[in-house]
Amino acid sequence: MQSDRPNPAFYPLLAALIFMAVGPIVLMLANSFKLDVDIISGTSGLFFLPTIQNYETALCDVLWYEPEHLDFCQFKFGGAFINSIIIALVSTALTLVLGCMAAYALVRFRFMGRDAASFTTLMVRMVPPAVLLVPVFGLWNNDFCIGKRTWLGELIRDSFGGRGDVCLEGTHSGIILIYVAMNLPFVIWILQSFIVQVPRSLEEAARVDGAGPFQVFFQIVLPLIKPGLAAAAIFTFRIAWNEYLLASALSDRDTKTVPILIVNNVSEFNIEWGVIMATGMLLAIPPIIFTLFASRQIITGMTAGAVKG
């Protein structure tokens, strides 16, 4: 007979899981309120004098006052944060727009090489980003450039300054482009499985009702795959937000993202643990907000009642 009472071993297991999940965050939160001395001294624990000094250092370029303990604000969190937001949001939006259209085409249209295309999109995802790094770095620096002598190149140079050719390297677009390429296969793959579930007769009914192909897509299919779009958005945003390797190579001083900024804080002479922890906490906030917002769209049973049941 099945008992409603869980096995006693369940509770320690649950506690262990919670500890593993929450532990690092608690540690990070606690350390972000400590001075570096307290962190390194090894007297770890919850007995310390909390300070917001780390947060002041991290946010020095956006604060309205000058923190007392700082002579010079060298840590440009605000700028990096805006870079991260731009890159993550734009690459997510682009990936979703391209992804849902590609997925729809792969599911619904019949054309030569459809299966091969569908399979290849997933295979591309299997290539580790590190493999892409070297060729992409070369292309972005040398090939995808607008010559400084062309009128467009001159226009850009005149407006934004700088010397040499205008290249993708070091621009937001360069990073966004590689993130879109990286995430697109997976998004296509996720959305395909959602689009397959949209009953074909719904699209046929819409066509008979007088909808053109784009109206069918935007008014019937898209609302029905909202949960899939939300899942794909969370996934894409998270990857774009956290990505380090490609961004470290492809960004420059003005376009670097928050993960790069944090690592730059580690120098030969000093590791500012407190600031790193504080930045880490701040870094975690946007994905949480984004996920909460997007996951509201994930309502199960969206297609309930569409067809016989």
Partner 1 sequence: MSKIRLENLTKRYGVVEVLHGINLDMAPDEFTVLVGPSGCGKSTTLRMIAGLESVSSGEIYVDDTPVSHLDPKDRDLAMVFQDYALYPHMDVARNISFALRLQKRPKAEIAAKVREVADLVGLTDFLSRKPGELSGGQRQRVAMARALAKDSSIFLFDEPLSNLDAKLRGQMRAELALMSQRVRKNMIYVTHDQIEAMTLADRIVVMEGGHIQQQGTPEELFKRPANRFVAGFIGSPPMNFLNGTLTETPTGLAVQGDGFAITLPEWAGRDLASSASREITLGIRPSDLRFDPEAPEGAGFDLNVRVSEYIGAQSVLLCDCGSVSFTVEVKSETPIALGEKLRFGCQAEALHLFDKTSGQAVLNNKHP
Q: Which of 211, 249, 271, 298: binder of partner 1 (CB under 8 A)?
A: 211
Note whether 181 and 174 are within 8 A (CB). Answer: no
Q: Is 304 in the site for partner 1 (CB under 8 A)?
A: yes
Return the residue matching tokens 């900024």. Answer: 261
- Residue 14 or 299 having the CB closest to partner 1: 299
How many helices and strands in the chain, by DSSP H and E? Answer: 15, 2
Residues 166, 220, 247, 276: which binds partner 1 (CB under 8 A)? 220
Between 216 and 278, name the residue whose CB sits nearer to partner 1: 216
- Assess 100 for contact with partner 1 (CB under 8 A): no
Rg (CA), the chain: 25
Which part of the chain contacts partner 1 (CB under 8 A), choosing from 1-9, 35-43, 156-164, 203-211? 203-211
**Window of 6-14, 61-69, 202-210, 240-248 that interacts with partner 1 by CB under 8 A:** 202-210
Instruction: Residue 8: count other Cβ atoms within 10 Å of its Cβ.
Output: 7
Residue 195 near residue 276, CB atoms below 8 Å: no
- Does position 199 interact with partner 1 (CB under 8 A)? The reply is yes
- The alpha carbon torsion through 52, 57, 63, 65 (nearest 10 deg) reads 80
Which of residues 45 and 301 has its CB atom nearest to partner 1 in the complex? 301
Q: How far is the CB of 225 from partner 1 (least distance, A)?
A: 11
Stretch that binds partner 1, among 24-32, 64-72, 106-114, 218-226 (CB under 8 A): 218-226
Cβ atoms 191, 118 nearer than 8 A:
no
Please say which residue, 157 or 207, places its beta carbon nearer to partner 1.
Answer: 207
Nearest to 246 by CA among 290, 162, 183: 183
Q: Indicate whether 301 belongs to the interface with partner 1 (CB under 8 A).
A: yes
Establish how many alpha carbons lie within 13 A of residue 45's alpha carbon, considering only the half-sphere containing its beta carbon: 5
The single residue among 215, 218, 245, 293 that binds partner 1, judged by CB under 8 A, is: 215
Using DSSP's 3-state secondary structure scheme, residue 3 falls into coil
Retrieve residue 69's tokens: 């303990």
Applying CB under 8 A, the site for partner 1 has a residue count of 25
> Contact residues for partner 1 (CB under 8 A)?
199, 201-202, 204-212, 215, 220, 223-224, 301-309
